[in-house]
Amino acid sequence: MYFSPEFLTIAMFVTLILAILLGHPLAYTLAAVATLFGLIDNGGNIPGLFDMFANITWGLMNNYVLVAIPLFILMAQLLDRSKVSDALFEALYVVLGGIKGGLGLAVVVVCTVFAATTGIIGASVVAMGLLATPALLQKNYQKEMTSGIICAAGTLGILIPPSIMMVVYGGLTGLKETSVGNLFAGAILPGMLLAGLYFAYILIRCNINPSLGPPISKEEAGTYSAARKWGMTLKSLIPPLALILAVMGTILAGVATPTEAAGLGATGAAILAMFNKKFTWDVIKHSCYSTMKTTAMVMMLFIGGKFFSSVFLFMGGGDVVADLLIGSGMHRYTVLFIMMLIVFLMGMFIDWAAILLVTVPIFMPISMELDFDPLWFSMLMCVNLQTSFLTPPFGYALFYYKGVAPPEYTMMHIYRGIIPFVLLQLVAIAILCIFPQIVTWLPSVFFGAY
């Protein structure tokens, strides 16, 4: 029986959405839906579909770039257990705590530094939730403000390099313009822009209404001399900055590939754990076990998503979507808005990795057909995907935080708290649309014309 590509395209996405809503594991859902519609499209040719699946899996396993994923995850796990962020928060507590919203600003700074060394959202949100929430609660910070700051700042790790999302994206496209090195360089300024927007929002809002984020008492702030404050800050900043320089510096200088830099980062994280006297057998065992679980999850998603997108493109779904968007005669920025809206809405229900694996093979050719810069378009996608951690009902950061927050923090406090920060993320996307040089300048400096 023959089915048109248009019918199969609609049916495939409807089936995927229904399967996700039923609560089935995402990786297996993607593979199962791909198997079903692959067999419908090829007339039940099981050996042919199996060959496609085997070739896709073999190709992924041979992708050298993806070796960076377990190494970056191991680096994040070791840093999480070595408590590098604790000392930095304690230092910034006394440095910034005396100004309105100062403790919230300290959270943003710590999360920005932590993001540049880990890239794992769960680790950042949980660590800062456990570390900062008691201090903010004690200083009478508004519950919505507290939860919004920690959840939003904790998600910076998915954007600020080294980021697992960038590694996955670079391995997925295979384009020179969107290599992992270019993506890392292109993400630095957008990440700083987003952190700056959070910083400005907290500072302005708390100065307008000090009850949202009151400062620490003058007596508490005055117990530390200026020299001691500087000493505490530098002592806590130097180790993570050295690790950032080792990882990002070697990539941007062209000395190491992202995979080699990831290995260097994992080694550096182990050294930092030794200095903090946290490099115990228990830490090694749990870090390796968590790395294995997270890597397995990411790779299973990668295999299922790649299989789904390959079947979708093979049966003509990519052409159907392209004809619908490009052939409609809409302005190219209207098409861009529609693609970004689709990604944003998908982020409310689906994991970022699955969204990348499903949408990038479809949207990237469309963006290139519309003459958009591939790196700039990719960065819009990545900033947009950061909202998926914050948008209800299934924002992962919200549930990570709820799991460690005190009982008086309800989900409604958390939902209300993240709304301004989601709007700031949308503002960041608009700024990147108006000023694409924010994305493209650093890659051109480090790697020339890409």
Burial class (CB in 10 A: 0-12, 13-18, 19+), 208: exposed
pLDDT of residue 223: 65
Mean pLDDT of 93-113: 83
Cβ-based neighbours of 277, under 8 Å, separated by 6 or more: none
Q: Is the pLDDT of residue 227 over 80?
A: no
31-75 per-position pLDDT tens digit: 899 899 888 888 788 888 888 888 888 887 887 777 888 888 888
Whether the per-residue pLDDT at 183 is higher than 60: the answer is yes
Tokens 């067999």 appear where? 39
Nearest to 374 by CA among 174, 167, 190, 191: 174
Q: What is the DSSP string of 364-391?
A: HHHHHHTT--HHHHHHHHHHHHHGGGTS
Q: Where are the domains of the chain?
A: 66-308+318-447
Q: Quote the Cα angle for 82-88-92, to 5°.
A: 160
- pLDDT above 60 for 341: yes
Q: What is the pLDDT of residue 215?
A: 81
pLDDT confidence of residue 191: 92
What pLDDT does residue 131 have?
Answer: 76
Looking at the predicted structure, is the pLDDT value of residue 252 above 90?
A: no
Provide mean pLDDT across the span 121-143: 79
Confidence band, pLDDT 50/70/90 cuts, at residue 224: low
Asked if pLDDT for residue 152 goes beyond 60, the answer is: yes
pLDDT, average across residues 154-161: 85
**Distance (Å, whole) CA 150 – CA 231:** 26
Tokens of 361: 């093979």
- Please give the average per-residue pLDDT across 388-414, as a whole number: 82
Q: Are 384 and 346 in contact (CB under 8 A)?
A: no
- Using left for φ > 0, alpha for ψ between -120 and 50, and beta otherwise, residue 279 falls in beta
5 and 317 Cβ atoms separated by less than 8 Å: yes
Q: What is the largest CA-CA distance in the chain?
A: 80
Cβ atoms of residues 164 and 72 within 8 Å = yes
pLDDT-based confidence at 286, cuts 50/70/90? confident
The whole-number pLDDT of residue 376 equals 95
pLDDT in tens, 350-390: 778 778 888 888 899 899 989 999 999 999 999 998 888 88
| Half-sphere exposure at residue 431, Cβ-oriented, CA atoms within 13 angstroms | 17
Residue 449 pLDDT > 60: no
For residues 85-102, give the mean pLDDT. 77
Considering the chain, what percentage of its residues have pLDDT values greater than 70? 95
- State residue 161's pLDDT score: 83
Q: What is the pLDDT of residue 225?
A: 67
Q: What is the mean pLDDT of the chain?
A: 83
Q: What confidence tier does 334 reach under pLDDT thresholds 50, 70, 90?
A: very high
The stretch 280-304 carries a mean pLDDT of 85
Residue 123's pLDDT is 64
Residue 220 has pLDDT above 70, yes or no: no
